[in-house]
Amino acid sequence: QPSSATLNCLIRARMGAGDARGAEEWFGRMRRAALQPDVRSYGCIINGYAQLDRAAQAAGDARQWFRAMEQDGVQPTVIQYNQLIAALWKSDPQPGEAEGLFRSLVASRLAPTRITLKSLGGILGRRAVSELCRELGVEEAA
C-alpha cells in the first residue's frame, strides 16, 4: 500500500501536468486507503488550481478545496492562504473575500509574507493593504 508521501507526489505530479481530475482521483484513493490527507495533500491541489489558466473556475475550485481542508480539521499554513489569494488575484478578484482571507490568516496567528502582501495588493491596492496591516497590527514584510 502506498504511503501518504507517495500519494502526495502523485497528486502534485497530476496537478503539475494540468490534470486536476487525475489529482482528485489520487486524492480519493488516499481516502479510500484510509490515509489521512494532510496540509501537503490539500496544498498540492490548491496550488495546482491557483496556477491553472482558466482563472475564474480555478479560483472557485481552489476555494472549494481550501474550505474542504478546513472542514477536515487540517490547519492551513500561510502557503495555502497565499495560494488562494493568488488564485483570486488571477480571476475576477473579490476584494471582500481577499480581505476576509487576510483577516483569517492573521486571526490564525500566521505571519503574512511578501507574497501574501503582493497578491493582496494586486486585489485591494497597496494603500488599502497598508491600512489593513496597521488596523490589524501586522508588520508589512520588507
The C-alpha cell 484513493 sits at: 29
- Of residues 110, 107, 109, 86, the one with CA closest to residue 98: 86
Burial class (CB in 10 A: 0-12, 13-18, 19+), 109: exposed
- Spans of the chain, pLDDT less than 70: 54-55, 141-142
H or E stretch at 129:
helix 126-136
Q: Write out pLDDT tens, residues 69-105.
A: 999 999 999 999 999 999 888 887 789 999 999 999 9
- In CATH terms, the fold of domain 4-136 is 1.25.40
- Helix/strand/coil for 142: coil
Is this prediction's pTM over 0.85? yes
Domain ranges across the chain: 4-136
